[in-house]
Amino acid sequence: MAKPTFGVIGGSRAYDLLAQNSFGTVRATNPVTTPFGESAPIHLFEKDGYSYRFLSRHGEEGYEVTAPFVNYRANIWAMAELGIKQIISWSQPGSLNQRLNPGDLVIPDDIIDSSTKRESTYYKNSGLGFIRMSNPFCPEIREELITALYSAGNCDYHNDGVYLCTEGPRLETPAEIKMYRKWGADMVGMTLATEAFLARELEICYSSICLISNFAEGIKERSFKEGELFEGMLREDEKNKVERSITLLPEILETTLQKLSGAKRTCDCGKAMERYRKNGKIGDDLLAEIRSFSS
């Protein structure tokens, strides 16, 4: 089987789906040592004639690493070092828009980054890294994800939405949510901006699927329930819809990966650093170039 060029980054509940063997046959599992530390364990899966790499963003056994402490640079670097050219991720943001209900699936088309403390570039102290972000999510992967949702035919989904990334790990206040809505955000989470920007810096296609986990604070009044977080912000029917949508994720990913398998990349993601090549500041091997000024 050919060396995989697809990667999947699993968000919340990825550890549950791993435990249920939802992604195919595991051929190998290894963390990767990078210039930015050790990545999360990366699994090699094989299924129906294609293969892909998979990592669980927040841990293998449960929610072990909160969003601000994920080693995003190591994770994306590891994918690149393993030959990954296209990444699909998922996350479970809260809704700022009443048209997006808990359990709905959304293919985001834009990002607002409100994180403040995390390392979000490989080009620190290098004079490099000016890249366009007119399409922060790869349009080719987005199109196939939308097609996969349509084909599934048994879920509520949306073709677009603006994802706002906060620092975390705390949730947002009602006043912050009101401000983010005025900014034009539809969802609030803590992960995608960092991954999308790092992937683009390494010229990797990146797109995501969002599963709405709850209404953000102040969108709909929900009483505090002791000992509960997101689940305490949901009615019983909403909980059931969220759980059902989680079980659909492997099928949607499989449909998308099968369609992308063998297709040539024609998007601009793989040429994000081309201006620096043209002026002689970098060569073709981005990882080698980054190693040279990050060591």
In the chain, domain spans: 6-294
**Residue 230 contacts residue 213 (beta carbons within 8 Å):** yes
Sign of CA dihedral 52, 60, 89, 111: negative
**What DSSP character marks residue 41?**
P
Per-position DSSP letters for 91-115, written without gaps between them: E-PEESSTTS-TT-EE---EEEE--
**Residue 254: which H helix or E strand, with range?**
helix 236-260
pLDDT of the residue at 231: 61
Q: Is 89 helix (H, G, I), strand (E, B) or coil?
A: strand
CA distances from 124 to 5, 74, 190, 196 (A): 27, 15, 22, 17
Residue 53's φ and ψ, nearest 5 degrees, are -95, 145
245 burial class (0-12, 13-18, 19+ CB within 10 angstroms)? Answer: buried
How do the pLDDT tens digits run along the chain, 295 residues long? 568 899 999 998 888 888 788 887 788 788 999 999 999 999 999 887 788 999 999 999 889 999 999 999 999 999 999 999 999 999 999 999 999 999 999 999 999 999 999 999 999 988 899 999 999 999 999 999 999 999 988 889 999 999 999 999 999 999 999 999 999 999 999 999 999 999 999 999 999 999 999 999 999 887 777 777 666 678 899 999 999 999 999 999 999 999 998 788 999 999 999 999 999 999 999 999 999 887 6
Structural class in CATH, domain 6-294: alpha beta
29 burial class (0-12, 13-18, 19+ CB within 10 angstroms)? Answer: middle
Per-position DSSP letters for 143-186, written without gaps between them: HHHHHHHHHH-SS-EES--EEEE---SSPPPHHHHHHHHHHT-S
Q: 210-232 burial, b if ≥16 CB within 10 A, otherwise e?
A: bbbbbbbbbbeeeeeeeeeebee
CA distances from 220 to 19, 61, 94, 233 (A): 34, 32, 11, 9
**Residue 144 contacts residue 177 (beta carbons within 8 Å):** no
**Residue 87 contacts residue 194 (beta carbons within 8 Å):** no
Q: What is the pTM of this model?
A: 0.95
